[in-house]
């Protein structure tokens, strides 16, 4: 099962990716983790990526494609995988298509208003450093340890709008996979379990 999971920030994509990978016993492949692993282990690809990171520049598509291709060749990916965070543009999608044939591409959709509402309700605990939600707080404090909570800068409405615009899934990528007949879309729900049921129904098809 070779999957690509798409979705805007705040859609719960990361949580759903973990649930899928746990049930189907496939690795969760995110570009951020691949970059960190290569850089920390000082691989030849990691050394090349480090130069761009140190210079405060984006890692170019050509190197990103090479790093992803290298990861997908690993033994744990031979029975399937879930890609998260790649491809980010149509050029990367074309490059990926030359590396591997995906089985399904699923977009977890959520309206901008719902995303802003969801992320605006997030809080971070000053003590245990764990994320929480205004609905879970006990007397205005962290339900886990009783610590004071605060709103992260990137969870403020004006910043969320900028992040949404910067990280939105392009129509080019959506149409690319629609043309291949492997694109699916579901609407995220407020319940993690319900969203997973919708995803799982597609995976079982």
Report if residue 12 sits inside a domain: yes
> Catalytic residue among 47, 152, 161, 168, which?
152
> Catalytic residue among 104, 122, 141, 185, which?
122
Report if residue 40 sits inside a domain: no
How many whole angstroms separate alpha carbon 124 and alpha carbon 132?
A: 6
Name residues of the chain where pLDDT drops below 70: 166-167
Per the annotation, the verdict on 71 as an active-site residue is no
Per the annotation, the verdict on 36 as an active-site residue is no
Give the pLDDT confidence score for residue 64 in this predicted structure.
93
Give the pLDDT confidence score for residue 32 in this predicted structure.
83
> Catalytic residue among 2, 13, 118, 123, which?
13
Taking the model in full, what pTM does it have?
Answer: 0.80
- Which structural domain, as residue segments, surrounds residue 190? 2-26+79-110+168-203
Neighbouring C-beta atoms of residue 114, cutoff 10 Å: 16
Report if residue 101 sits inside a domain: yes
Report if residue 124 sits inside a domain: no
Report if residue 199 sits inside a domain: yes
The total of structural domains in the chain comes to: 1
Report if residue 159 sits inside a domain: no
Yes or no: say if 118 and 15 are a contact pair by the CB < 8 Å rule: no
Nearest-CA neighbor of 203 among 74, 7, 8, 19? 19
Give the pLDDT confidence score for residue 3 in this predicted structure.
97
Give the pLDDT confidence score for residue 114 in this predicted structure.
84
> Catalytic residue among 104, 141, 163, 178, which?
163
Per the annotation, the verdict on 123 as an active-site residue is no
Report if residue 190 sits inside a domain: yes
What would you report as the CA-atom Rg of the chain, rounded to the nearest whole angstrom? 18
CATH code at 86? 3.40.50.300
């Amino acid at each position: 099962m070779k999957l690509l999971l798409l979705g805007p920030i705040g859609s719960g994509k990361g949580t759903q990716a973990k649930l899928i990978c746990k049930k189907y016993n496939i690795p969760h492949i995110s570009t951020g983790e691949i970059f960190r692993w290569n850089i920390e282990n000082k691989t030849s690809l990691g050394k090349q990526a480090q130069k761009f990171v140190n210079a405060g520049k984006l890692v170019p598509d050509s190197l990103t494609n090479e790093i992803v291709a290298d990861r997908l060749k690993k033994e744990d990916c031979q029975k399937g995988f879930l890609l998260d965070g790649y491809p980010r543009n149509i050029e990367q999608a074309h490059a990926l298509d030359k590396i591997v044939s995906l089985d399904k591409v699923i977009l977890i959709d959520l309206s901008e208003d719902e995303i802003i509402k969801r992320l605006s309700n997030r809080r971070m605990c000053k003590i245990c450093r764990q994320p929480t939600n205004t609905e879970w707080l006990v007397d205005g404090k962290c339900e886990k340890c009783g610590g004071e909570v605060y709103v992260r800068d990137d969870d403020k409405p004006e910043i969320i709008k900028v992040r949404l615009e910067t990280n939105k899934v392009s129509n080019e990528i959506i149409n690319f996979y629609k043309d291949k007949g492997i694109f699916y879309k579901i609407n995220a729900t407020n319940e993690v379990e319900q969203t997973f049921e919708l995803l799982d129904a597609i995976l079982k098809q």
